[in-house]
Amino acid sequence: MLPSNGGHPNPVSVLPPYSVAIPSESGEIGGMASPPFTVALIQDGVAATKAETLERTIASIRAAHARGAQVICLKELFDAPYFCKALDLERFDLAEPIPGPTVARLRAVAEELAVVLVVPIYERQGAGVYRNSAVVIDADGTVQGVYRKMHIPHDPLFEEKYYFAPGESSAPVQPAGARGPAGEAGGFMVWKTRYATIGVLICWDQWYPEAARITALLGADILLYPTAIGWHPAEKAEWGEAQVTAWRTAQRAHAIANGVFVAATNRVGFEAEDGTGGIEFFGHSFVYDPFGRPLAEAGTDAAIVLATCDPARIEETRRNWPFLRDRRVDAYAPLLHRWIGPRGD
């Protein structure tokens, strides 16, 4: 059992395997939580060409499937170098429509292997409209839809505002033929797949507790964060360890505060950019359980990170730590302001 909410949490408590009875619509206790599912994170870099990167990725998907993976998440902008390090008009040519050739190829793989794929790519939604997107493909090869990154950074070597429009916060348009999300609020979405209800957020989104909270409230079993985060080599000695710790801590907090599984897939390797020091992508992909404990973690090398997630732990954690129950939803309207300030400002 988890510690009750009457005392301080014990970060080293061990949960045995268990099942949780879930109330039915009539209010009677009966039935069971959804069965466990196995998630895989493909932590890797990019090859010399987009085509070669796609083939390597498919090989990794097959390897993950062979190890039992059912839900497989790729890194942010998986089939290209992280091209946002500089402003270059020709780099818009890396984008493709959804559906397009990359999605078509991975739909076939998903159907063949009966796996759910989260495929983050550079989307050309229309002439002059480009997005940092993630396609959700169900285990039958159906495109469920697309999540488009809501928070767009602007930082040295992370010039994303030049390349991406943010996702819409109201009635986001889905590709033709897509099944659509199981739930949507404010541009955040969940997808009911064969194996789990998943929420997808992308990289910079991971620093915003509001995004995690809304997606958890939509009913996600797991929040998946495709990511491209790394070190400026000149800063690594002084800030490297602290940056990784901050990145992991922010998302571990999302898991604990929302009682939900959280996973992030990062890229690895050094990517050069003329006139700069380039970026060393630091990997360290992970899966946390609803209590904030690591189920699986990677280092800085390419890896397939696997973890089995039991949705029963969500119910058990939230019963003992009822943070969602105790929210004062009537008191949070000030969050709609970018800044409040002390009285008199």
Residue 32: what pLDDT? 60
Under the banding of pLDDT at 50, 70 and 90, the label for residue 95 is very high
Residue 345: what pLDDT? 54
Residue positions annotated with a catalytic role: 76, 149, 203
% of residues, the chain, pLDDT over 90: 89
Backbone torsions φ then ψ of 283, nearest 5 degrees: 60, -125
Q: What is the pTM of this model?
A: 0.91
On average, the pLDDT of the chain sits at 92
- Beta bridge partner(s), residue 112: none
Q: Which whole number is the average pLDDT over 125-147?
A: 98
Q: Which whole number is the average pLDDT over 63-77?
A: 98
Domains of the chain: 38-325 (3.60.110.10)
Under the banding of pLDDT at 50, 70 and 90, the label for residue 343 is confident
